[in-house]
Structure 1
């Protein structure tokens, strides 16, 4: 079953991350990251990015009875809520703030380019208007719009995670970021199939 492969990939990300002790401050003997480091920037920004995915997923679970979409939404919500907890936990461990005066994604050299209008703080994130619209749709319309929004969201998340995999210094965070890339790319493929079954496709 196609869904099982994605679930296994996502579960692998959580198991790999969960097997790591929270003693990541000195991972491989490294110093605690600075507030302006890629490690801290990714942890802060991805925590915000993940929170919106959780929100969207719980919205669509209440707007459709389709079991496959509801199961995907639940798994995305659980996976990203768990990963968000890890990222915020590391910031606590490092003694770093969860909110920064830096612009989103400045750690990727994208400060000033990441923010969009109407609440889209980072690439892939839905706008406030899109979130409100999702909450007004039902059935197949809700499924299609959610799958399109989440595909965009995952594309942005993959871009950010690739940035951490390349720039972060803490080994466990780099591994979690690569796991996000793999898991979300698998889910993008699944969502493309689900959209096709509904006579739709990802947004350009």
Structure 2
């Protein structure tokens, strides 16, 4: 497993060694000891996946304290553009975003720190997106910012979105409860 830092502190792209032979392929997308050695979260009490068709945009989502969480995300089938927006007050990248393609062929993952909004856009005909979180979903802590309020250049200006996502507040109107805590 290879961990690559991104421009957002605490956010990492994780590349995995893929084993292939005549039967197919084996992808080990989590190894507790390896994550511990890298200083990454290993306790993900909730895992879920979504199936989306092309041009679906999900996000930009987060949970507020005290149920804020770290996410470990990957694309099990197809291709997605995965996006992270830094919402941590005091962060040198506050309001900036990171966009990275996650796909099933590469089997890469993204480790998203607390205090960041997350979303993705489906590039392929179908995608299966896997999300692991360090806290369980809490409706009373659920939050988000509007998908087109952060300067992100999405592949389309007319994505397929949920009613909930359509009415999320814009970044400039969002009073962030997240504080940046630099790593030492």
Give the structure with the larger helix fraction. Answer: 1
Select the structure of larger CA radius of gyration.
1
Q: TM-score, normalised by structure 2?
A: 0.26
Q: TM-score, normalised by structure 1?
A: 0.24
Give the structure with the larger strand fraction. Answer: 2
